[in-house]
Copies of this chain bind each other. A is one copy, B any other.
C-alpha cells in the first residue's frame, strides 16, 4: 500500500497500456482515474454513471468494454457474484471477502494468515495456482440488526 501521486498513477497507466499495445484514450484515462479511488465493487453501469459526470459524451459500451480490457491486463478483477450484474474489483491486491447472504453485499477484508494459506501438493500438481481468496458467508452487522 504505497502512496502515489496522481501523476505517478497516470504514468503507470500509460506504461501499462503501451506494454499491452493499447492506445491511451481520454475515455480510458478517465475511467482509470475514477475506479482507482473506489473501495467498493461497482457494476459497469455504476462506473458509467460516475464517469459520465466528468465525460458526458461517453457511452455505456465504451465503459463496459474498457472494463473488460482492464480485466484482461490485470488492472481490475472481475468479481465472483451471486446473480445480477457483473461486478469489478478495482483492488487487485490480495484480499478476502465477507459475503452477506441477506443483503448480498460483499465486503473486503485483509488477513495475513489467509494470504499465506498453504496449497496442498496434490492440487498444485493438477492446477497452477495464481491467487487465493477466502470467502466467508454470513450475515453482516447491518442485516443482523
Q: Are B120 and A144 within 8 A (Cβ)? A: no
* A126 interface hit (Cβ, 8 Å): yes
> Is chain A's interface secondary structure helix, strand, loop, or mixed overall?
strand
CA distance A118 to B98 in the complex (A): 14
Stretch binding the partner chain, chosen from A13-21, A26-34, A51-59, A127-135: A127-135
Extra pairs beyond A109-B123, A119-B136 (20, CB < 8 Å)? A78-B82, A78-B83, A80-B81, A80-B99, A81-B82, A98-B123, A107-B127, A114-B117, A126-B140, A127-B138, A127-B140, A127-B141, A128-B139, A129-B136, A130-B139, A131-B138, A132-B134, A132-B136, A133-B134, A134-B135
